[in-house]
């Protein structure tokens, strides 16, 4: 019985082909060493296990976890407008700071682009494809005040809201830890090497949910 027990994400039973997907990762610049490991894990998994093209993964950063929902919403809206305009660079001059320097050169700013006028839609005739999923990545570590509780609550609710309101899956890649050791272990960076990098699960989850979003009747 215990032999069958799988802690964490059970892999999907069918192939999850992400070769046609475009994914946005937004990460924080708090606790960057841990965040870096999580972003790397998500990115590598999407590329190596799900065939997502490196140039179709855009990575942007925000100051802290509290800013993740706003940035995800803004960049999703911009990507939908720019895709409807036929632009290849989905975020244009709205590029945020790329703190971890993981973006492929083809995903950096290439043109000023028109200012957004309305929320675009994907799939319009002649349009390109906007982001199919977003992964919000951050690490919250509890301090001695109530700040942690407020931010955790706001971020989890905010990320859920962006996903439901936009119709584009937004993965909750935020570790909410009581101390740094817990965070290191959940990024696979603990000294004992017994941890698990949750970024791997978030990468697979993003592909699976993006394919679900794109599924037709």
Catalytic amino acids?
147
Q: In sequence order, what are the beta bridge partners of 133?
A: 23
96 binds ligand DLZ per the rule CB under 6 A:
no
The window from 57-65, 83-91, 106-114, 160-168 that contacts ligand DLZ (CB under 6 A) reads: 57-65
Least Cα distance to 138 among 17, 56, 37 occurs for 37
For 182-205, give the DSSP string: HHHHHBT--TTS---BHHHHHHHH
Cα-based distances in Å from 123 to 79, 86, 127, 173, 214: 12, 11, 6, 27, 10
- The distance of closest approach from Cβ of residue 64 to ligand DLZ in the complex, given in angstroms and rounded to an integer, is 2
Q: In what order do the strands lie in the sheet with 170-177?
A: 57-62, 23-28, 133-141, 170-177
Least Cα distance to 133 among 41, 212, 15, 53 occurs for 212
**Cα 102 from chain centroid?**
13
CB nearer ligand DLZ, residue 31 or residue 45 = 31
- The distance of closest approach from Cβ of residue 147 to ligand DLZ in the complex, given in angstroms and rounded to an integer, is 5
- The distance of closest approach from Cβ of residue 178 to ligand DLZ in the complex, given in angstroms and rounded to an integer, is 11
For residues 76 and 130, is the Cβ–Cβ distance under 8 A?
yes
152 binds ligand DLZ per the rule CB under 6 A:
no
60 binds ligand DLZ per the rule CB under 6 A:
no
Among the listed residues 23, 24, 28, 137, the single contact to ligand DLZ using CB under 6 A: 28
- Spell out, one character per residue from 158 to 197, where the chain touches ligand DLZ: x when CB under 6 A holds, - when not: ----------------------------------------
Which chain residues interact with ligand DLZ by CB under 6 A? Answer: 28, 30-31, 63-67, 138-141, 143, 147, 151
């Amino acid at each position: 019985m215990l032999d069958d027990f799988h802690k964490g994400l059970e892999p999907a039973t069918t192939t999850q082909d992400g070769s046609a997907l475009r994914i946005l990762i937004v990460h924080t610049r708090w606790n960057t060493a841990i965040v870096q490991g999580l972003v790397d894990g998500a990115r590598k998994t999407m590329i190596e296990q799900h065939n997502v093209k490196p140039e179709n993964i855009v990575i942007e950063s925000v100051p802290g976890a509290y800013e993740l929902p706003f940035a995800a919403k803004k960049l999703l809206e911009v990507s939908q407008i720019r895709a409807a305009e036929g632009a290849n660079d989905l975020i244009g001059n709205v590029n945020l700071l790329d703190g971890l320097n993981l973006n492929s050169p083809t995903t950096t700013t290439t043109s000023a682009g028109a200012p957004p006028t309305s929320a675009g839609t994907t799939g319009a005739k002649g349009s390109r494809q906007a982001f199919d999923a977003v992964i919000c990545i951050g690490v919250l570590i509890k301090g001695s005040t109530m700040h942690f509780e407020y931010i955790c609550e706001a971020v989890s609710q905010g990320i859920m809201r962006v996903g439901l309101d936009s119709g584009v899956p937004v993965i909750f890649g935020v570790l909410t830890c009581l101390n740094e050791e817990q965070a290191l272990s959940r990024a696979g960076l603990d000294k004992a090497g017994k941890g698990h990098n949750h970024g791997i699960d978030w990468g697979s989850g993003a592909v699976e949910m993006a394919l679900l979003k794109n599924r037709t009747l």
